[in-house]
Amino acid sequence: MNKVILASGAALMLAMGAAQTPAQAQEKTLTISVYALAQDEYKQIVYDPFQKICGCKLVVETGNSVERFAKMEANKANPVVDMAVISMADALAASRAGLIDKVDTSKLSNFGKLYDIAKDPNGDGMSVGYTFYATSIAYRSDKMKIDSWADLLKPEYASHVAWPNVTTNQGPPALYMLGLALAKDTPDLKAPIEAVGAKKGEIVTFYEKSSQLVQLMQQEEIWAAPIGRFTWAPFTKLGFPIAWAMPKEGQTGGMNVMTVTKGSKNRDLALQFMDFWLSTEVQTKLAEKLIDSPSNKDVKLSEAIANNLTYGEETAKSLKLIPSAVALDNRAGWIKTWNEKVGQ
């Protein structure tokens, strides 16, 4: 009996193997590495339609940027991933580590449609921006008035503020803007970190996850917090008068970029995929689902959608982003100073 089961199992496996082999041999495979967000929507809007166009198979690897970066570094000699989307600063880190290659923008038919800020964010030709976001202050307009980033530290406001921890994506940009407000904007962010440190007892919390802020705002635990525009939508539904600040120092933000892995065997396919993702049609659909703010300036959005995103030429031009090299060279120092002044 056992022999019969074994034999039939073996036969079944052989048959499955035989059925799969020819198909796999013919199919081209593109492996991409992306953030683990909104994968159902990406599948529907980007991945599935692209697979139909290219007649290829798309393998999607997800994870946070540290995990994905570590994986790319481990497979440097024999890269698995062909194309990765990462933050601007991580793209520079990857470029310094020799993990990515120049992007041949002549093969990107949609390249000309991008906002200037997204064309070559690090100025090294190694990446193309596919989405960016503004970072400013969400605040209770009935309780406070915000004209400057420094207003958050006013004695009457500080005990109602959640400030992003330096380890979050919003942390350094918020400190950078506070530095501008204090007229002490050195790359080491020393002055703004000290200013926040002086108020650490009053500030409600140094948040790690922006999802926590909605609840804190709802419970009136906080009145204001620096946030990325991509988390803005839930605040507008709380039933409180919550405004998006336009401080006199301006807004900051961040950008995510596409990169091609050095040594990828599917470079052309990767570029074809990037071009598809940057197309007006795909960028419009992603924006309409409130997933990514478009970096393609031909994307036209309704006011309701645009209000929830970082949208338009003016906004794109006004963003004061921390240069990637500054972020990379100072990140460890920022955390050290922060831990000394705020962490204890």
Partner 1 sequence: MFQNRAEALALALPAAIFAAAVFLVPVVILLSDGFRSPAGGWTISAYTDFFSNSLNQTVFLRTLRLGALVTIASAVIGYAAAFAIVSLEPGAKGKVTGLVVLPLMISPVARTYAWIVILGRTGIVNQAFQALGITEAPLRILFSETAIFIGLLQLFLPLMIISLISALENMPKDAIPAALVLGANWFQVFWKVVLPLTKEGLVIGGTLVFTGSLTAYITPAILGGSKVLMLETLLYQQVAVSNNFVAASVIAFILIVMSFAANILLKRVATARNKQRSQA
- The Cα 182–Cα 188 span in angstroms is 14
Instruction: Specify the DSSP class assigned to residue 311.
Output: -
Is the Cβ–Cβ distance between 258 and 130 less than 8 Å?
Answer: yes
Is the Cβ–Cβ distance between 263 and 79 less than 8 Å?
Answer: yes
**What is the SS3 assignment for 265?**
coil
Q: Number of residues interacting with partner 1: please give it, by CB under 8 A.
A: 27
The reply on whether position 343 binds partner 1 by CB under 8 A is: yes
Tell me how far apart the 2 most distant CA atoms of the chain are, in Å: 83
Write out the H or E segment, with its range, that includes residue 91.
Answer: helix 88-96
Per the listing, tokens 């906002």 go with 115
The reply on whether position 344 binds partner 1 by CB under 8 A is: yes
The reply on whether position 256 binds partner 1 by CB under 8 A is: no
The reply on whether position 136 binds partner 1 by CB under 8 A is: no
The reply on whether position 15 binds partner 1 by CB under 8 A is: no
Of positions 12, 70, 233, 246, contacts partner 1 by CB under 8 A? 70
| Interface positions, 152-171, toward partner 1 (CB under 8 A) | 165, 167
In angstroms, what is the minimal distance from the CB of 111 to partner 1? 32
Of positions 66, 74, 77, 183, contacts partner 1 by CB under 8 A? 66
| Interface positions, 204-243, toward partner 1 (CB under 8 A) | 204-208, 212, 215-216, 219-221
In angstroms, what is the minimal distance from the CB of 165 to partner 1? 4
Pick the piece of the chain touching partner 1 (CB under 8 A) from 21-29, 113-121, 184-192, 201-209: 201-209
Nearer to partner 1, 220 or 268 (CB): 220
Of positions 43, 107, 184, 200, contacts partner 1 by CB under 8 A? 200
Nearer to partner 1, 212 or 280 (CB): 212
The separation between CA 164 and the C-alpha centre of its own chain, rounded to angstroms, equals 16
The reply on whether position 340 binds partner 1 by CB under 8 A is: yes
- The Cα 138–Cα 170 span in angstroms is 13
Closest CA to 328 of 72, 76, 88: 88
Sign of the CA dihedral 80, 85, 86, 90? positive
Nearer to partner 1, 104 or 202 (CB): 202
For 272-282, letters b (16+ CB in 10 Å) and e give bbbbbbbbeeb
Q: What is the contact surface with partner 1 in residues (CB under 8 A)?
A: 64, 66, 69-70, 165, 167, 200, 203-208, 212, 215-216, 219-221, 331-332, 335, 339-340, 342-344
